[in-house]
Every structure is written in structure tokens, then in C-alpha cells.
Amino acid sequence: VQESFGNQSFRMERKTIDLEQGWDYMQTGITKLKRILEGLPEPQFDSEQYMMLYTTIYNMCTQKPPHDYSQQLYDKYREAFEEYINSTVLPALKEKHDEYMLRELVKRWSNHKVMVRWLSRFFYYLDRYFIARRSLPPLNEVGLTCFRDRVYNELHSKVKDAVIALVDKEREGEQIDRALLKNVLDIYVEIGMGQMERYEVDFESFMLLDSASYYSRKASSWIQEDSCPDYMLKSEECLKKERERVAHYLHSSSEPKLVEKVQHELLVVYANQLLEKEHSGCRALLRDDKVDDLSRMYRLYHKIAKGLEPVANIFKQHVTAEGNALVQQAEDTATNQAANTASVQEQVLIRKVIELHDKYMVYVVECFQNHTLFHKALKEAFEIFCNKTVAGSSSAELLATFCDNILKKGGSEKLSDEAIEDTLEKVVKLLAYISDKDLFAEFYRKKLARRLLFDRSANDDHERSILTKLKQQCGGQFTSKMEGMVTDLTLARENQTSFEEYLGNNPAANPGIDLTVTVLTTGFWPSYKSFDINLPSEMVKCVEVFKGFYETKTKHRKLTWIYSLGTCHLNGKFDHKPIELVVSTYQAAVLLLFNTTDKLSYNDILTQLNLSHEDLVRLLHSLSCARYKILVKEPSTKTVSQTDSFEFNAKFTDRMRRIKIPLPPVDERKKVVEDVDKDRRYAIDAAIVRIMKSRKVLGHQQLVSECVEQLSRMFKPDIKAIKKRMEDLITRDYLERDKENANMFRYLA
Amino acid sequence: MRRSSAASKKKSDSITSSTTDLFRSGPSKATSKEMDRIDHLFNQYANTSSNLIDPEGIEELCSNLQVPHTDIRILMLAWKMKAEKQGYFTQEEWRRGLKALRADTLSKLKKALPELEKEVRRQSNFADFYAYAFRYCLTEEKQKSIDIETICQLLDIVMGSTFRAQVDYFVEYLKIQNDYKVINMDQWMGFYRFCNEISFPEMTEYNPELAWPLVLDSFVEWISEKQA
């Protein structure tokens, strides 16, 4: 009888345990364990029993041969499981089905694990030395492998079917036992013993197939019945539920795969039909400003590779259509109405385009989460319709006129400073979409000149502000001339002060008329026609005096007088009352002739002033056939002809004490376009030479495309124009065509 | 009289000048007697004070050769001579040309013309001749382009027999268009390439995105519009 096991009894001679004998003893333990597992009334193992069992194994393994029974015990260990499985476990499982089977399986697996745990504790000694020595699988593994080979392999397919059936049931809205499924699927994972292969191959692959076909069926009927928003709602809901499913009982690694399948069936397969649905698809949603639905659309398609491309495309088409409609509207209104109201419509167009931009930018930022695809779509859409001509005016011109209207006096005085700043900001942003930026610059410059020279600028700060914005957007070169113009005006004011001082110090030089001169730096300002009109003597003196003053400041500059831009205040001594007339210098020159003579013929005036017919007719018309008839024309027809004669209209009067007699504006458009075309020719020449100088030899197509790219910041060069310039450069010996390859060009130093 | 191949290497004043002779006999091989005859012929047409054959002389030469004054063969002769100035042949140029043609009498010269034509029309020579024809018409020192009317005539002379259709259409186009008042060498050569590379009147191979001169782009466009 052995009393204690804690103390070493090695000094004592151990009694050899016979295999059969020992195994019988072990069997009692195993049976006890089985009874516990079966739920039969059986007390738990106490530590004494446990130690006995453990020691029995220990002894049988450490006995001297031929009584070292390690191998046999190892085999019997496995056989214990096999026996139990075959006799009890498997039959219990096989007689059940569906959910019942699943429950049984979970129970049996749990039991099995307990059994493995306990038996491997009993047989632990084998794990310590025997298995390592023989490179055999450890006890734990042996135990699990038994279950795998005998139970799992038999049943996994049936189990999988049962699980999937429950999943589909849940999908149809029924409640299922999620915890049960989780436990079942854990078996697949655990049975893999470190690898996910069993789970993936025996369950997941089937589950994915089933899910795909489930959603394929659903999708095919939903796509027929549901509107796009409803379909998207359902899809979103489905995806949400599937994610929940994973969280609750599938393995987490299934999530991306399952989501991909669901997305594919619901959103990819039917993408086209969904987006293009007649009354509720993407186009309709944009049309009806369904922001929420579009946001959902973005969320859904964002995760799908290239999923957003068709959406962005429809967005682009929609915006383009809206923009084109605005342009067409303006065009139609312009052709139907008289000229002056048409220009108002054009200004309305710009406002509407700005609003359109604001509206859809909100979509890009909010619905479409600032995604680059949508920024690009918006940009491309605007580039399409922002470059259309309306009633003969290019968009560049319209935009410049729009700016002029904001910046000039009487233009937008009702708007707050903030609103003006905001509008200017938006206008500059629109400029980015216009390809003929150089054309805009030229129109802007012309109108700026007019505002500056005729004191029609409403607010200096706004003038500077827009120039800063333009500079930021288009670079310093774009605004350098304009900035020069603004500076000139500032300097001109200082200059005027000096001039007045000079006159004060030289009373003899005083011309007797208040004279203000603005000196413009050539190059900054647009070019103006200036030719020698025969000025009245009073004005001649003014010119001389100023020249004298100017020479005291610098001898290196030449002054060229631009009388066409001058303004004159005359006192008209009419019979009724004197009225101050604000006229152009030319008009003044005409009127002053009547100081010495009462009546003059057209030809008299022509000869005396030395003007062209075109100019003279315009002048005389403004003074005799327009609103204020300062001169009486004989005969009093509506237009001026070369046989007419003119007389001072002493009877003229008006309720105002000062009136402005405007000259009809000359159409500057033609000249601007000509000037810009000329500048473009130089720009193209320069670009070609620059490129060829650095590359030395280049193929035609490459040269053209590099040229286009270099110039794209200012305008989109016509391919024909580039070819023409190249031809010219060939004639001027800057380039030559390669002798062997007619498509290559060479730079000639 | 038959000759052995060995004997044909020697100088001969046989009237028949074979093709091979034209190749092998270069200027360096003329005898002094030949040169005298060549000079003698020169003097018959040259203006005594300037010592050049001037337009009048050329006209006379043409009538003696029984070749129209505006015939391409005269231009070919000028090419052979590498004559620099239109309407004039210098003595050096005359010598050069006639030596190369092995022609020291008028009748030999006349008989040499068909062979000359064949030589010029060889693919390897024609491009050179075509370019030469353009340069030949540049009369002023810094002149780079030729007026439309002259070009039209020149095209007719130089390319009329080989590319009749193209020349007729192009000439018609040049006369009605307003973009160009003159044609430069690059455009001139472009037309030659056009005739050789592009089928006419289908013009399917023509691609305006390549480096064809713009005038040809417009020409092709004009034809397409006409055909539509």
C-alpha cells in the first residue's frame, strides 16, 4: 500500500504495473469522465483520483523494458477517443438534423474538448518525453485530430448546409439563435488547429456562394420594382446587416469577402441600370436636388473599384447640360431683344453661372466628400460651356464686362463690401475655366483704363483686391500691366500736385485754363489711336505749358498726347441760362470753333480740325442729333452728311446746370481681338523657339503638344496657328525640316 | 561598228552615246577638241559684251533645238549645268553641262535631251531637280519665296506630266485661296512629298496632324469639301 505520492518513493522498489492491469485502472477514470460528460450523476474528479491516474501513467512509462508501455499508452489514448466517438458521439449526432444537430454538435465538441483536456492531463507524461523523442503529435493534437477525422469530416458538409439555411432564414427576417451559429462556426475555426483553411474551404466558400446567389435573386427583382433611392436604401441596409452578421457569428476575416460579394451583386452587376433609371436615377436625383440620395450613392459606390466613375460622368453631363442651357437662354434672349437689354442678359448669365458653380461645388464638397473625381468632373463641365460665345461676345469679354460693372461707379453700389469681395473672388475662380485668358486680360485692361482715366472707379480697394486675386490665380505676368496702370494713376496725382506748384511759381506759364494731365507709362496701358487734331489755341498753350513742366522733371521721355481720352468742361453761354458742358476734347475742339464763327459747314470743320470723316460724323452727331442738341444742324435730318452745316444753338436749355454729352462708345471688341491675335502670334513664336532651342531636334507632334502645354496658362492655341508660325520660322531660318524625316524639325542657331 | 568591251573604255567620238557612257564619262574626260567645239557653240549664243548666254540667246538656242522655251527639258539642261541665274548661262556652266552630256555640237545636244530627261526623272535625281527648279526661280538676292502665279506655271512645267491631277487641283486651289501670296521652299517640297506619298484623289493616308505644310492641310480640306 502506498500512502503518499508527494514524497518520492523512488528508493522503494516499485511494483511493476502490467499493461492490462494499468489500462483497466485508466479505463475507470475514462469511464467516470464519460459519465460526467454524458450528464449522468457522477461526482467530479478529486485531486486524489487525478493524481492516481496521472501516476499510473507515469509509472507505466518509466518502468524498465519490457514494461515501458509509452507507445501502447499513446495508442490507447487515441483509441479511447475513437471508441467514445464511434459508440456514442457519432450516433448521437447522426440521428439529429438541422438546428438540433447543430446544438448536439456544439455540445459534443465542447465535451470533446473537456475530454481532451482531462485525458491529456492524465497522460501528460507522454507529452513530456515520449512524443518529442519519437517526433509524434502531442496529446492535444491527437485528441482534436480524432474528432476532426471521425466527426468533423463526416458532418461538416451537413452542418454547413444547416448553418447557411439559418443564415438565409435570418436574412428573410426570422429570428435565429446567433449564439448557436457562433459556436458552430468556432468549431470550424478551432478544428483548423491554427489554420483558417477548414473554415474557409468547408464553410466560408459555400456561404459566400450562397450569399451571392441570394443577393443576386433579390437584386434582380428589386432593380425592376424599386426606384433608385429605394434600391440604394435597401442595399445600404443589406450591407449593414451583413456586417452585423459577421460581428455576431461569422469569423471577422469573412467580412471583406462577404461585403464584396454583396456589393457586387447589388451594386456592381446592376450599376448601369440603377444609375440610369429613367425617373429616379442619378440624373433625376441631380435634377431634383436629392442631396441625401446622392450622398448615399456616393457612400455606396465609393468603396467599389471604379464605382464612382459612372456617377462622376453623369454629374459632369448634368452640370454641362445646365450650363449649356444657361448659355442658350442668354443667346435666345439676346437675339430676341434690342442691343442694350441684351447686354444686361449677358451680365445676368455670368451671375447665373456663378450661382451654378456655387451650387454644384456644394455637391462636390458635401455629397461627394471632396473626391477628386468630382472636382475634375465639375471642372471639365465648366470648361465646356464657359467657353461658348453668347450673341457674338466671347466668354472672356462677358466676364470682363461683368467685372467692369461691379467695379465702376453706379455699378454695384447697393452691394456691401463683403458681397462685392465675394463676387470678385468667384469671378476670378470662373476665369480658371476660360481658355482664352489672354483675351480676358485685354478686355479687362481696356475697361480698367476707362475706369481709371475717366474717374469711374467706384472703390480703390476693390480694384486692388481683384488684381491681387488675379495675380494669385494667373501669375504675376498676368497682372503686371494692370498694376502698372493703377500705380500710374497714383503717381499722376502726385505729378499733378507738382504741376500746380510749378504753375504757382511760374505765373507767366499759366495757360489760363485749369489743366489736369495724366501721364501714362507706355506698355502698361492699352494702345490708343492718337493723331494730330488741330487743337484750338487755348489747348495748344496747355500742351506747351505742361511740356515745359515735364521737361524740368525728365529729359529722357517723350510725351505723346492722346486727345481722344481727354475731357473738357465748357461753359455754354446759352440765351436762357449758362450750362456747363462736360465733353470730350474732340467735342470741345468742334464747339470752340463756334466761338469765332456762327455757322460752319461740315467741310469747314473737317478742314479746320483735320479729322477723318468717320470721327467727325460721330462727333457732330453727338452734338447735333443726339439727346442734347448743342448745335443746330441744317438740314435737320437724323444723320450727319457731308453737305450739312452747323450753327451754335443759342436757344438750347436744360433743367440741369451741368450736362455730360457722351460720345457713343467705339466698339473695342474688334481691336481687342486683333491685338490679342497679334500677341498670340508672338507668344507662339517665342514658345516654339524656346522649345526648339532647348531640344535642338524634335518631332512635329511633340513640338505641337509642348507648345500647347506651355501656352495653356493663357490661351488654347489653334493647331493651325502653330503650324503657320512654324512655317514662318522656317522662312526666317530659325528652324528647318530634317532632310531624312519630314516630320522632324531642327533648330538653326 | 562593233566594239569590244575593252575598246569601249577608250575615248570615242562615236555619235551614239550610250547610257553607260553618260555615267562613266565625266567632265574630266573631255578632250580639248571637244572643249573647243563646246566653246564654239557657246559663242554662237552668247552675248559678246557680257560673255553670257542671256534670255535672248536661250530663246534662240531653244528654237534651234526645236524645243519650246518653257519646256521642262530646258530646265533640265539648266539643272545639268547647275546654272545659277534664271535666264542666263555662264561659260563655265555651259561647259559643265555639255561636257556631262558629251554634246559638243547642236545635233548632239538635241539628241542628248531624251537621255537627260530619263536621267532626271530617276527617283534618285528628281527630288534634287524639283528643288533646283524652285531655287532657279529666285531672282532677287535675299528672296525666299516665289509668287503664286510663277509657282503655278512652274508646277505645271515640272510636275504636270507625271502628276497631272494633283497639279491641276493644287493650281486651282492656289489661285482661289487668300492665305498665301507666296510659296516658300518648304511648302514647295511638301507638295512633292504629297504627290509621291498620298494617293489621289482618295487622300486617305493624309493626316493633318503630321508635319505637312499648312497650305497642304487647307488644300486637302478644300478638296474634301468639294467632293462632299
- DSSP letters, A276-321, are T-TTTSHHHHHHTT-HHHHHHHHHHHHTSTTTHHHHHHHHHHHHHH
Residues contacting B156, CB < 8 A, separation 6+: B167, B171
Q: What are the residues facing A745 on neighbouring strands?
A: A698, A737
Which B residues in the span 80-139 are in contact with A, Cβ-Cβ below 8 Å?
none
Q: Look at residue A340 in the predicted model and tell me its pLDDT.
A: 59
Q: What's the pLDDT score for residue A171?
A: 96
Q: Which of A726, A727, A728, A739 to mutate against chain B (most B CBs within 10 Å)?
A: A727
CA atoms within 13 A on the CB side of A38: 15
A567-572's contacts with Cβ under 8 Å and 24+ in sequence apart are A567/A454, A572/A630, A572/A652
Closest residue of chain B to A700, computed from CA coordinates: B211
Distances (CA, A) of A223 to A234, A563, A684, B171: 11, 75, 55, 65
**Residue B211, exposed/middle/buried by CB under 10 A (0-12, 13-18, 19+)?**
buried
pLDDT in tens, A318-353: 999 999 999 998 888 877 776 656 567 778 899 999
DSSP letter for A633, please. E
Burial class (CB in 10 A: 0-12, 13-18, 19+), B226: exposed
For the cut 80, the answer to whether the pLDDT of residue A12 exceeds it is no
Q: Model pTM?
A: 0.77
Other CB atoms within 10 Å distance of the CB of residue B206: 19
To the nearest whole Å, the CA of A719 is away from the closest chain B CA by: 8
> Is A743 in Cβ contact with B210 (below 8 Å)?
yes
Burial of residue A636 (CB within 10 Å: 0-12, 13-18, 19+) is exposed
Interfacial residues of A (vs B; Cβ cutoff 8 Å): 700-701, 704, 719-720, 723-724, 727, 730-731, 737, 742-745
* Inter-chain CB pairs, A–B, below 8 Å: 33
Quick: pLDDT tens for A346-405.
Answer: 788 999 999 999 999 999 999 999 999 999 999 999 999 999 988 888 999 999 999 999
Write the single-letter amino acid at B179.
D
Residues from chain A that touch B213, judged by Cβ atoms under 8 A, are 723, 727
Q: What average pLDDT does this structure show over A195-203?
A: 95
**pLDDT of A118:** 92
| Cα within 13 Å of Cα(B13), Cβ side | 9
Residue A46 to residues A3, A316, A591, A599: CA-CA distances in angstroms?
17, 78, 131, 141
- The per-residue pLDDT of chain A, averaged, comes to 91
Amino acid at position A41, single letter: P
* Among B187, B189, B210, beta carbon nearest to A700: B210
Q: Region B69-81: what's the mean pLDDT? A: 90
Give the chain B residue nearest A740 (alpha carbons).
B193
What do you get for the CA distance between the two ends of chain A, in Å? 117
CA distances from A167 to A174, A204, A256 (A): 9, 12, 17
How far is residue A459's CA from residue A465's CA, in Å, rounded to a whole number?
10
Q: Which chain A residues are Cβ-neighbours of B187 within 8 angstroms?
A: 727
Predicted local confidence at residue A311, as pLDDT: 95
Chain A residue numbers touching B217 (CB-CB < 8 A): 720, 723
pLDDT band at B10 (very low <50, low <70, confident <90, very high): very low
Q: What is the chain A residue with the closest CA to B190? A: A742
- Give chain A positions within 8 Å (CB) of B186: 727, 730-731, 737
pLDDT tens track for B35-47:
888 998 899 899 8
CB contact under 8 A, A723 and B217: yes
B217 and chain A in contact, CB less than 8 A:
yes
Tell me the C-alpha distance between A696 and A734, whole Å: 11
- Is residue A403 within 8 Å of A395, Cβ to Cβ? no
Q: Residue B106: how many CB atoms within 10 A of its CB?
A: 14
Tell me, yes or no, if B57 comes closer than 8 A to chain A by beta carbon: no
Nearest residue, CB atoms, A727 vs list B189, B209, B214: B214
What are B144-181's pLDDT values in tens digits?
A: 899 999 999 999 999 998 999 999 999 999 999 998 99
C-alpha–C-alpha distance, residues A191 and A203, integer Å: 12
Determine which of B130, B180, B181, B186 to mutate to test the interface with A (most A C-beta atoms within 10 Å): B186
Length, in residues, of chain B: 228
Q: A719: nearest CA in chain B?
A: B209
Q: Identify the helix (H) or strand (E) that includes residue A330.
A: helix A308-336
Percent of chain B residues topping a pLDDT of 90: 49
Nearest neighbour of B186 by CB, restricted to A701, A724, A727:
A727
What Rg value do the Cα atoms of chain B yield, rounded? 20
Q: Does B184 contact A745 at a Cβ distance shorter than 8 Å? A: no
Q: Which amino acid is at A419?
A: A
**Does B221 contact chain A (CB < 8 Å)?**
no
Q: What is the 3-state secondary structure (H, E, C) of A460-485?
A: HHHHHHHHHHHHHHHCHHHHHHHHHH
Residues A625-676 pLDDT 10s:
988 999 999 888 888 898 999 999 999 999 999 999 988 777 788 889 999 9
- Mean pLDDT, all residues of chain B: 85
Per-residue pLDDT at B190:
94
Task: Name which of A688, A746, A691 is nearest A717 in CA terms.
Answer: A688
CB within 8 Å: B210 and A745: no
Average pLDDT over residues A216-223: 96
Comparing CB atoms, the residue among A700, A724, A731 nearest residue B211 is: A700
Residue A338 is predicted with a pLDDT of 64
pLDDT in tens, A412-465: 667 888 999 999 999 999 999 999 999 999 999 999 998 998 888 888 889 999
Q: Chain B closest CA to A619's CA: distance in Å?
A: 36
CB contact under 8 A, A731 and B193: no
Among A704, A730, A738, the residue to mutate for chain B (most B Cβ within 10 A):
A730
Sign of CA dihedral A283, A288, A293, A298: positive
Per-residue pLDDT at B7 exceeds 70: no
Share of chain B above pLDDT 70, in %: 87
Torsion of CA B197, B214, A745, B183, to 10 degrees: 90
To the nearest whole Å, the CA of B17 is away from the closest chain A CA by 34
Higher pLDDT, A392 or A686: A686
pLDDT, one tens digit per residue, over A688-710 is 999 999 999 999 999 999 999 99
Residue A523: Cβ within 10 Å count? 9
Q: Is it the case that residue B29 has pLDDT exceeding 80?
A: no
Mean pLDDT of A733-740: 90
Residue A225 sits at the vertex; the CA angle it makes with A224 and A227, to the nearest 5 degrees, is 100
Subunit contact B186:A737, Cβ cutoff 8 A: yes
